[in-house]
Structure 1
Amino acid sequence: MSLVLYGHSFSSYTQKVLVALYENDTKFEFRSLGPDTPQHVTEWLQRWPLRKFPLLVDGERNVVETSVIIEYLHLAHPGPVRLLPDDPLAALDVRFMDRVFDLHVMSMVQRAVEGALTGDATKRADGLALATEKLDLAYAWLEGALAGKTWAAGETFSLADCAAAPALFYADWTHPIADRYPVLRAYRARLLARPSFARAVDEARQYRPLFPLGAPDRD
């Protein structure tokens, strides 16, 4: 049985895994989750009733949580692009940056999006205010952390960049990265130019009207 990925192409965490798969041209079947594919939703919930996606299926094995999925691919379906270094300390640096982008960038975007989706003006404003505050802190830290680097953890594209690509993509839509962060802005541009992420972005382009904060006319 080939690899199967359940998710949605506009989902940041689905995109994170798609980037890893595209980097190594790994063969898989994508099963989109939505109202027009109830059979996929049923299969997904049978395999993972906690209702979180993406979900990777490899034979009888169900793999969840994006960082774990990418590490699983690294071990079970390796390709020419090694998304984790062999050196344990270097790998720890990659895992740390992966956590930074998931927990301090993407999670803040989600807070703003969740507030907007309530339809309540106060909750929308509160969610966006919190996201703005926290993203400013993250942007300032990343500006220094990325200085002198091509990719998140050095000169090699890694798991951390798989996380950074969708996180910074949607973060800049939520709270634009200011001109005072040229290193971070240039890094985001490199991620958008990376063929694996450019492909993921293009595949989700049709869903941009669904972004509850309003998708900007760029990227």
Structure 2
Amino acid sequence: MPLTLYYHPFASFCQKVLIALYENGTPFEPRRIDLGDPASRAELAAVWPLAKFPVLRDAERNVVIPESSLIIDYLGRHYPGPHALIPADPEEAMRVHLWDRLFDNYVAPHVTKIVTDHFRPEGRHDPEGVEQAKALIAQTYALIERDLPPGGWACGDTFTLADCAAAPALFYANIAVPFAQHPKITAYYERLCARPSFARVIDEARPYRRNFPLAWPASYA
């Protein structure tokens, strides 16, 4: 099997890649990395010295690809499946990439800011930074609510890279900054959760929920 994915099932950017792999039934060897374990971290660093996941190694082509969006683009070019997650049309692809960047840059990292503040030692919390992160997420929700199609997926009728990014970002963001007051986002998120690829990702991450510092909503069964 030429493809090896270095990842953790609870990490949102890793989940994004897993959704893409599951969508197309792409075979790969999973290598679960625990960054808190020195040996596991060293295994990842040997492949990608920055020791950030996800990372895809393609033994057949002798290449290493970091970063979730780059990995999904690489898979589409070299290991295409039945679902093209990035459209061939340049204008459509630009829109998909825009939504992908929206979730990756304006939702996911701000959720991380809120969550990691809970792990800071006493006296080193950043309440102002947390409030700023929440405000930025709320501002992004308003933009998403405005521009989301009333049905289907982020960029229309086809499930794309944008939806791979949206699913885990919204999963965690809804815990930190609930979006129940946004009906289009709520309906879209329900469609994402019903997608078999994301449902599988949620199930595989379930054993690690005990390590999450925020309270799980009752709807997250």
**TM superposition score normalised by structure 1:** 0.93
Tell me the equivalent position of 1:52. 52
- 1:182-201 pair list within 5 angstroms: 182-201=183-202
Q: 2:117 aligns with which of 115, 119, 135?
A: 115
Partners of 1:174 and 1:36 in 2: CA distance: 24
Partners of 2:160 and 2:36 in 1: CA distance: 34
Q: Judge which range, 208-217 or 197-206, deviates more.
A: 208-217
Note closer, same or farther for the CA distance 1:209–1:124 as it changes in structure 2 (3 Å cut).
farther
Task: State the Cα distance separating 1:36 from its structure 2 match.
Answer: 8.8
Partners of 1:146 and 1:108 in 2: CA distance: 21
Tell me the equivalent position of 2:78. 76
Task: State the Cα distance separating 1:70 from its structure 2 match.
Answer: 0.2
CA distances 1:132-183 after superposition (whole Å, capped 9, x unpaired): 211110111111110334111111000000000000000001111132x100
1:33 is the counterpart of 2:61? no
Tell me the equivalent position of 1:139. 141
Note closer, same or farther for the CA distance 1:178–1:125 as it changes in structure 2 (3 Å cut).
farther
Tell me the equivalent position of 2:10. 10
Contact 2:110 2:136 in 1 (8 A): yes
Q: Which amino acid aligns with 2:215?
A: G
Q: Give the secondary structure class of the aligned counterpart of 2:149.
A: coil
CA distances 1:162-211 after superposition (whole Å, capped 9, x unpaired): 000000000001111132x1000111111111100000000000111111
1:175 is the counterpart of 2:181? no
Partners of 2:135 and 2:205 in 1: CA distance: 28
CA distances 1:14-39 after superposition (whole Å, capped 9, x unpaired): 00000000000100111111179765
Q: Give the secondary structure class of the aligned counterpart of 1:30.
A: strand
Tell me the equivalent position of 2:213. 212
Partners of 1:40 and 1:19 in 2: CA distance: 23
Which runs of 5 or more residues in structure 1 are unaligned? none
Q: Which amino acid aligns with 1:161?
A: D
Task: State the Cα distance separating 1:43 from its structure 2 match.
Answer: 2.4
Contact 1:113 1:127 in 2 (8 A): no
Q: Percent identity among equivalent residues?
A: 46
Task: State the Cα distance separating 1:212 from its structure 2 match.
Answer: 1.9
CA distances 1:52-77 after superposition (whole Å, capped 9, x unpaired): 10100111210001000000000010
Note closer, same or farther for the CA distance 1:202–1:154 as it changes in structure 2 (3 Å cut).
same
Tell me the equivalent position of 1:105. 107
Note closer, same or farther for the CA distance 1:33–1:99 as it changes in structure 2 (3 Å cut).
same
Partners of 2:89 and 2:145 in 1: CA distance: 25
Which runs of 5 or more residues in structure 2 are unaligned? none
Task: State the Cα distance separating 1:215 from its structure 2 match.
Answer: 2.8
CA RMSD of aligned residues (A): 1.7
Partners of 1:206 and 1:195 in 2: CA distance: 19
Note closer, same or farther for the CA distance 1:126–1:217 as it changes in structure 2 (3 Å cut).
farther
CA distances 1:87-128 after superposition (whole Å, capped 9, x unpaired): 001000000000000001111101111212213466253343
Contact 2:41 2:51 in 1 (8 A): no
**TM superposition score normalised by structure 2:** 0.93
